[in-house]
Amino acid sequence: MARRAPSGTPATVALTAAGVAFTQHPYEHDPAAPSYGLEAAEVLGQPPEQVFKTLLVDTGAGLAVGIVPVAGQLDLKAMAAALGVKKVTMADPAAAERSTGYVVGGISPVGQKRALPTVLDETAALFDVVYVSGGRRGLDLGLSPADLLRVTGGTLADIAR
């Protein structure tokens, strides 16, 4: 009998394979929404400080992932310092999509095609559960910040403003 591939997004498959407890929160994405992240926070009924967006930066030597609250912005200088590089710039959206295997607005920090250096904003530690994209627009996942750091190999730093 042939084995069926696990269903779900690469993020949910990776979390399941890692034995991480998580919750799925699908919603109807509105293409007219001005902000994917703020839309998710509103639909989920969660404070925007607890819902995080995944942003990719270019270090000059490759890409890296910054995870910050949807209510804030990524501080590029702080991100560079957290990565130990001179400076970073926002990654080209097409390069981010190629590297992660996800589309902009649905980039999950989990289950990317290639493991990238990852930094989670330190405010995540204030919550038992944080919400991140599940790998497509209209799907967020809830999990503990500790598990998010574990499955991404990430570090915690002050990278939001």
pTM of the model: 0.93
Indicate whether 14 belongs to any domain.
no
Q: What is the DSSP string of 75-117?
A: -HHHHHHHHTSS--EEPPHHHHHHHHSS-TT---SSS-SS---
pLDDT tens per residue, range 65-120? 999 999 999 999 999 999 999 999 999 999 999 999 999 989 999 999 999 999 99
The pLDDT, as a whole number, for residue 16 is 96
- What is the rounded average pLDDT of the residues 112-134? 96
Tokens 């990719």 belong to residue: 56
Residues in the chain: 161
Query: Predicted confidence band at 4 (pLDDT cuts at 50, 70, 90)?
Result: very low
Q: What is the DSSP string of 40-60?
A: HHHHHT--TTTBEEEEEEE-S
Given a cut of 70, whether residue 1 has pLDDT beyond it is: no
Number of domains in the chain: 1
pLDDT tens per residue, range 45-70? 999 999 999 999 999 999 999 999 99
Indicate whether 9 belongs to any domain.
no
Indicate whether 123 belongs to any domain.
yes
Indicate whether 116 belongs to any domain.
yes
Indicate whether 18 belongs to any domain.
no
- Cβ(114)–Cβ(146) under 8 Å? no
Domain at 46, CATH number: 3.90.960.10
Indicate whether 100 belongs to any domain.
yes
The pLDDT, as a whole number, for residue 5 is 43
Query: Predicted confidence band at 3 (pLDDT cuts at 50, 70, 90)?
Result: very low
What is the C-alpha separation between 35 and 61, in angstroms, rounded? 29
Residue 100 lies in domain: 30-157
Indicate whether 6 belongs to any domain.
no
Query: Predicted confidence band at 36 (pLDDT cuts at 50, 70, 90)?
Result: confident
Query: Predicted confidence band at 7 (pLDDT cuts at 50, 70, 90)?
Result: low
